[in-house]
Amino acid sequence: MTGDDILLQARLWWWQRTSAMALAFCVLVHLGVIIYAVHAGLSAASLLGRTRGNVVFGAFYTLFVLACAIHAPIGLMNVAREWLGWRPRPVGWLAAAFALAIVVLGLRAVYGVVVA
């Protein structure tokens, strides 16, 4: 294994660990939000009424999306390398594409409920 690869692996581990900490927090809050919303029996219109223009809500879910976009592709990359035996380069590209998909889809959803 090359030196660059060692450095990359160690950094990816750091990013995955750090994003996991953010996710642990985000998932708990997210579950709380879901339970609260369902309990209150809110309609789509009243939900949007609360989320539109809500900066805290927008910032929180942006953080959530970014943490997912970092965390999940690194994990999938490890799975593909270890279980499927794929080469590091194509796996890297695939993980980058997956990260981009999460960012685009996730931020689009945040935009949809907060701004649009």
Partner 1 sequence: MQSLLTARIWRGGSDGAFVTYEVPRQDSQTVLDVVTWVQRALDPTLAYRYACRVGMCGSCAMTVNGRARWTCRTHVERVAPHGILDIAPLANLPVIKDLTTDMADFFDKWTKAEGRFQGAATRRQDFARVAPDSRQRRAVDAAIECIGCGVCYASCDVVNWRPDFLGPAALNRAWTLVNDVRDIALRQRLRAVAGDAGCHSCHTQGSCTERCPKNLAPTSAIAGLKRVTAQAAMRRKL
Q: Which residues of the shown chain bind partner 1 in the complex (CB under 8 A)?
A: 1, 3, 5-7, 9-11, 13-14, 17, 81-82
DSSP state of 84: S
Closer to partner 1 by CB, 5 or 101: give it: 5
For 61, residues 6+ apart whose C-beta sits below 8 A from its C-beta are 106, 109, 110, 113, 114
Q: How far is the CB of 77 from partner 1 (least distance, A)?
A: 12
Phi/psi of residue 85, each to 5°?
70, 25
Question: How far is the C-alpha of 99 from the C-alpha of 72, rounded, in Å?
Answer: 8
Q: How far is the CB of 5 from partner 1 (least distance, A)?
A: 6
Q: How far is the CB of 14 from partner 1 (least distance, A)?
A: 4
Closer to partner 1 by CB, 14 or 25: give it: 14
